[in-house]
Chains A and B, each alone.
Chain A
Amino acid sequence: GAGVSQSPSNKVTEKGKDVELRCDPISGHTALYWYRQSLGQGLEFLIYFQGNSAPDKSGLPSDRFSAERTGGSVSTLTIQRTQQEDSAVYLCASSPGPLSSYNEQFFGPGTRLTVL
């Protein structure tokens, strides 16, 4: 079956431009997570959605980052006025419900963002 998909797979942008990253979770998964992974670093939690609501936005690095989810499905992560330190792989994951022994995260392939 279809897994989590993300687009674009690669994005190169100039400093100061805005970018929008998209995540299509597995159908029926209510929970959706965004992470950032820089070279040699672990996954940095950014935000998660339960349905269309984001209970915790504290992981977003700055107010240039925002995310939304509509219809309990597709989510977009927007980075405004990109900076070079935003360069990373942005990973999305979805889960059938709240994380537990029955509900694991399924990760998408990621979007590699390069800010020149």
Chain B
Amino acid sequence: GQNIDQPTEMTATEGAIVQINCTYQTSGFNGLFWYQQHAGEAPTFLSYNVLDGLEEKGRFSSFLSRSKGYSYLLLKELQMKDSASYLCAAHLLSGGSYIPTFGRGTSLIVHP
């Protein structure tokens, strides 16, 4: 199968740093997206990695290692509003097309 694995739930303290990991099947891979989804709302785009390395965007950074089939999303200076589900999505080849394949999401709870 084309499993995308990420932790189900994480908790962290306001102001802290948290790293959410994601692993995926490497065959037919063409990029990795991270999305944020607040309860009852649609997902919103956070970041995209296609090459190895770190992409930084404000408080959020995303890292990719293609050879290891591994990515992480790093959230710094956590705020209460960061409590949400974080979805990892790998572009994987299926039937001749690259299809976004999502993990189940990591529910992040930020507490005071």
In the assembled complex, how far is the CB of residue B18 from the closest CB belonging to chain A, in whole angstroms? 19
Q: Which of A13-21, A54-62, A72-80 contacts B (4 or more CB under 8 A)?
A: A54-62
**B contact residues around A100 at 8 Å (CB):** 31, 48, 50
Q: Which of A98, A107, A108 contacts B98 (CB 8 A)?
A: A98
B interface secondary structure, majority: strand
Q: Which of B44-86 contact A (CB under 8 A)?
A: 44-45, 48, 50
Q: Is A25 an interface residue (CB 8 A)?
A: no
A interface secondary structure, majority: loop
Contacts A48-B99, A56-B95, A58-B94; A101 near B104 (Cβ below 8 A):
no
Interface residues in chain B, defined as those with a beta carbon under 8 Å from any beta carbon in chain A: 4, 31, 33, 41-45, 48, 50, 87, 89, 91, 94-105
